[in-house]
Amino acid sequence: MANEQYDGLLDRFLKYVKTETRSNPESTTIPSDPKETAFLNDLAAELTDLGLTNVHINKQSSYLMATIPSNVDYQVPKIGYISHVDTADFNAHNVNPQIVKNYDGHSDINLDPDGKYQLTVADFPSLKKYQGDTLITTDGSTLLGADDKSGVAEIVTMAAYLMAHPEIKHGEIEIGLGPDEEIGTGADHFDVADFGADIAYTVDAGPLGELEYETFNAAQAEIEIAGKDVHTAVAKGTMINAIQVAIDLHDSLPAHDRAERTAGREGFFHLYKFDGTVDHASMTYLIRDHDRQTFEERKHMLERVVDCLNTELGEKRVTMKLYDQYYNLKDALKDHMEVVALAKQAMEELGITPDIYPVRGGTDGSTISYMGLPTPNLFAGGENMHSRFEYVSLQTMEKAVDVLLKINELNLKQHK
pLDDT in tens, 72-89: 999 999 999 999 999 998
Asked whether the beta carbons of 307 and 313 are under 8 A apart, the reply is no
Measured CA to CA, the distance from residue 148 to residue 377 in angstroms comes to 12
Which residues contact residue 169 at a Cβ distance below 8 angstroms, ignoring those fewer than 6 apart? 71, 72, 412
- Supply φ then ψ for residue 134, to 5 degrees: -95, 120
Measured CA to CA, the distance from residue 312 to residue 240 in angstroms comes to 11
Q: In what order do the strands lie in the sheet with 268-276?
A: 268-276, 280-289, 217-226, 318-326
pLDDT in tens, 19-70: 999 999 999 999 999 999 999 999 999 999 999 999 999 999 999 999 999 9
Measured CA to CA, the distance from residue 362 to residue 352 in angstroms comes to 23
CA dihedral angle for residue 159, residue 162, residue 165, residue 167, rounded to 10 degrees: -160
Tell me, yes or no, if 181 is annotated catalytic. Answer: yes
Maximum distance among all alpha carbons in the chain? 86
DSSP structure string for 99-157: EETT--SSS-EESSTT-SSEE-TTT-GGGGGGTTPPEEE--SSS---HHHHHHHHHHHH
Question: Residue 405 pLDDT more than 70?
Answer: yes
Measured CA to CA, the distance from residue 335 to residue 321 in angstroms comes to 33
Q: In what order do the strands lie in the sheet with 391-393?
A: 98-100, 135-137, 391-393, 382-383
| Confidence band of 184 (pLDDT split at 50, 70, 90) | confident
| Confidence band of 3 (pLDDT split at 50, 70, 90) | confident
Question: Residue 172 pLDDT more than 90?
Answer: yes
Looking at residue 320, its amino acid is M
Measured CA to CA, the distance from residue 155 to residue 52 in angstroms comes to 13
DSSP structure string for 341-401: HHHHHHHHHTTPPPB----SS--HHHHHHHTT----EEE--EESTTSTT-EEEHHHHHHHH
The average pLDDT across 392-402 equals 98
pLDDT in tens, 278-333: 999 999 999 999 999 999 999 999 999 999 999 999 999 999 999 999 999 999 99
Question: Residue 383 pLDDT more than 60?
Answer: yes
Three-state DSSP state, 276 = strand
Measured CA to CA, the distance from residue 380 to residue 153 in angstroms comes to 9
Which residues contact residue 8 at a Cβ distance below 8 angstroms, ignoring those fewer than 6 apart? 157, 160
Measured CA to CA, the distance from residue 260 to residue 321 in angstroms comes to 24
Residue 18 CA to its chain's centroid (Å): 19
Three-state DSSP state, 407 = helix
Three-state DSSP state, 72 = coil
pLDDT (0 to 100) of residue 2 = 57
Measured CA to CA, the distance from residue 219 to residue 326 in angstroms comes to 7
**Catalytic-labelled residue, pool 181, 182, 364, 383:** 181
Tell me, yes or no, if 11 is annotated catalytic. Answer: no
Kind of pairing between the strands at 53-57 and 135-137 = unpaired
Average pLDDT taken over every residue of the chain: 96
The average pLDDT across 254-273 equals 96
Asked whether the beta carbons of 143 and 40 are under 8 A apart, the reply is no
Burial 78-99 (b: 16+ CB within 10 A, else e): bbbbbbbbbbbebebeebebbe
Asked whether the beta carbons of 362 and 216 are under 8 A apart, the reply is yes
**Catalytic-labelled residue, pool 20, 86, 148, 212:** 86
pLDDT (0 to 100) of residue 1 = 47
pLDDT (0 to 100) of residue 279 = 98
Residues composing the chain: 416
Asked whether the beta carbons of 192 and 372 are under 8 A apart, the reply is yes
pLDDT in tens, 100-144: 999 999 999 999 999 899 999 999 999 999 999 999 999 999 999
pLDDT in tens, 206-249: 999 999 999 999 999 999 999 999 999 999 999 999 999 999 99
Asked whether the beta carbons of 210 and 379 are under 8 A apart, the reply is yes
pTM (predicted TM-score): 0.92
pLDDT (0 to 100) of residue 416 = 80
The full set of domains in the chain, from first to last, is 3-214+328-414 (3.40.630.10), 218-326 (3.30.70.360)
